[in-house]
Amino acid sequence: MKRLPILLTALIGFGLFSCSKTNKEEKMISTISKEAFGELPDGQKADLYTLTNANGMTVNITNYGGIITKLTAPDKKGEWADVVLGFDSLAPYVKGHPFFGALVGRYGNRIAKGKFKLDGKDYTLAINNGPNALHGGIKGFDKVIWKATEINQDSVVGLQLEYVSKDMEEGYPGTLTVKVVYTLDNDNALSINYTATTDQATIVNLTNHSYFNLTGLKRDILDHEVMIESDTLVPIDSTFIPIGKLQSVEGTPFDFRKPTKISAGIVKVEDEQIKNGGGYDHCWVLKRTEPGLMLFATVKDPESGRFMEVFTTEPAVQFYTGNFLDGKLTGKNATYSKRFGLCLETEHYPDSPNQPQFPTTVLKPGETYNTTTKYRFSAK
Active site residues: 209, 345
| 149, 159 Cβ separation under 8 angstroms | yes
> How far is residue 185's CA from residue 283's CA, in Å, rounded to a whole number?
29
Distances 318 to 134, 149, 235 between C-alpha atoms, Å: 13, 29, 12
In eight-state DSSP terms, residue 333 is T
Distances (CA, A) of 200 to 173, 204, 262: 7, 12, 42
In sequence order, the β-bridge partners of residue 298 are: 227, 309
Helix (H), strand (E) counts: the chain: 4, 29
Continuous segment of H or E residues that includes residue 226: strand 225-228
Rounded-to-integer distance, Cα 189 and Cα 101, Å: 16
Q: Is 275 helix (H, G, I), strand (E, B) or coil?
A: helix
DSSP state of 212: B
**Residues 282/273, Cβ–Cβ less than 8 Å:** yes
The helix/strand/coil state of 148 is strand
Q: CA dihedral defined by 164, 167, 172, 176, rounded to 10 degrees?
A: 30
| Rounded distance between C-alpha atoms, residue 80 and residue 374, angstroms | 19
Which helix (H) or strand (E) covers residue 318, if one does?
strand 316-320
